Amino acid sequence: MKIRVNRLALSETLSLVGSVVPSRTPKPVLRGVLMYTQGDTLRLYGTDLELSIDAGLSQVEIERQGRVLLDADRLVGIVREGGDEVLDFDVAGDACTIVGSDSRYKVYTLDIEQYPIVVPASKAGGLSVSLKDMREAARQVVFAAAKESSRYAINGVLFELKGKRLGLVATDGRRLARRRVNGTVSEGCQLAAQRVIVPTKALALVERLGEDGEELSMDLSGNQIVISCGDVAICSNLVEGTFPKYEDIIPSDYQRRLELDTLAFSSAIKRAALLTTDQAKGIKISITSDKMVLSSRAPEAGDAEVTMPISAGCQPLDIGFNPQYLLEALRVVQAPRIQLELGEADRPAIIKAEPDFLYLVMPINLG
């Protein structure tokens, strides 16, 4: 293989593909990035055997077709640190020469014959959604997924397609986030037939894809989900297991409904939590007919109290929350106002925001 490639374009694509390459693995060959030519395009491929990504770039001149497997960390360093507009790659035998205007590297290649290429059985195309909507949806639910395994498969994000609406749901058992997006469903779409659980790492890649005006396509291929956008394809194993029946725990009978300014509510929570400690992490929200008081108390730190006016008419209530769980939800809300729904002190709170975001958080006992 012999090519000349735009360094900045290569660096951007390499950053995306390199993010799935494991830094520690018993298989040294997995630390590599595969570079190969396809027509007039240079493509980069990386995998950790559970998640793979294949991305192309067109800012390249190809003199000789071919492929090469290079250590990802070394390649990233060479491409990132150079100040050249273009880099020349020339593969001969077991070495690849990389030449810039004032630099030259001879890098030994990895054994390409031992490299596992995970190829899906079919390309994505069953469901198409706006990339902008999907990026936002991923950001609004991924944070709520469990970081550790449990008897339920909640260390991923549930995908459930109902009609033309895709629901993304994540929970860690203490809070739950759900966002729905509209899409276009093709005939034979496998996503329409079942609920699946997608790893959070795959969704994190979605946030780094393309431009907001583009469309994203996805569908199932065996036990994998294939996500495509532009010249990038992501293939990920699904999380095995059962996602809990979350619909049963979302209350629909609450009478206390407060419409709040998103930034003002977030600021009040932050200020009320300033005197919390590791031993006293919670804040109390006290509702009266015309105001909300957010407070915290820690024996070794002191007391804090912040007051917010609310619409008149709510029944009184004292309820405790972990402030971090509230702030993490408000941080991903794009709408200027949210609706806070409350039941009794031992029942979860609900935060709703446009477009079609729902967040449920369990209260805590402040003692």
pLDDT in tens, 38-77: 999 999 999 999 999 999 999 999 999 999 999 999 999 9
- Nearest CA to 69 out of 7, 6, 17, 16 is that of 17
| Pairwise CA distance, residues 131 & 216, whole Å | 5
| Pairwise CA distance, residues 325 & 334, whole Å | 17
Question: Which residue reads 């105001």 in tokens?
Answer: 291
Range of the domain at 10: 2-114
- Note if the bond before 116 is cis, omega within 30 degrees: no
Q: Is residue 120 part of a domain?
A: no
Q: How many domains does the chain have?
A: 3
Domain end: 246, 270, 295, which one? 246
Q: Is residue 161 part of a domain?
A: yes
Dihedral, CA of residue 304, residue 258, residue 261 and residue 298, to nearest 10: 10
CATH value at residue 207: 3.10.150.10
Q: Is residue 302 part of a domain?
A: yes
Computed over its alpha carbons, how large is the radius of gyration of the chain? Answer: 25
Give per-residue burial for 35-66: e unless 16+ CB within 10 Å, then b: bbbeeeebbbbbbeebbbbbbbbebbebeeee
| Pairwise CA distance, residues 340 & 138, whole Å | 22
184 and 206 part of one domain: yes
Mean pLDDT of 4-8: 97
Q: Is residue 367 part of a domain?
A: no
Domain end: 246, 262, 286, which one? 246
Mean pLDDT of 291-306: 92
| Pairwise CA distance, residues 95 & 93, whole Å | 6
pLDDT in tens, 107-132: 999 999 999 987 654 455 689 999 99
Q: Is residue 122 part of a domain?
A: no
pLDDT in tens, 132-183: 999 999 999 999 999 877 667 899 999 999 999 999 999 999 999 999 999 9
The neighbour count for residue 206, using CB atoms within 10 Å, is 22
Q: Is residue 121 part of a domain?
A: no
pLDDT in tens, 300-325: 889 999 999 998 678 899 999 999 99
Q: Is residue 366 part of a domain?
A: no
Q: Are 202 and 232 in contact (CB under 8 A)?
A: no
